[in-house]
Structure 1
Amino acid sequence: MTIGPPPDPDTEQHARAHHAHTEKALDVQVEPGAEFWGWAGRTLGAPARTATGVSVWLRQ
């Protein structure tokens, strides 16, 4: 589910690239289809789980 409008395509691509990099660096997995765009598309957040199954929130 996406809430709020995604930003312009360049900003959206940049945010998604950062999320992918951070997922790998922190060894977390974002729940597919559960992302949320913040106010005016300025942030991208999503629920995720660590390798040990702990629920976390990943936000860029």
Structure 2
Amino acid sequence: MQSASASGLTWVKSSYSGVNNDCVEVAALPPGGHALRDSKNPHGPVLMFGPGQWDTFVSGVTAGEFG
């Protein structure tokens, strides 16, 4: 995982997000990675994950490891 600014990506916000923009947005990266950012700070830092790192991160979130 690395922190970077990513321009030119297509960002998607969850349909579960409220109107207050208090959520994260995700963008697909080639080949199979993902970028993640805070929707309240779209020009702030971006976390970039390779495919395996993304799978591990999503598994951790699903398991509640980031309380």
TM (norm. structure 2) is: 0.27
Q: Which has the larger radius of gyration?
A: 2
Q: Which has the higher contact order (CA 8 A, sep 6+)?
A: 1
More helix by share: 1
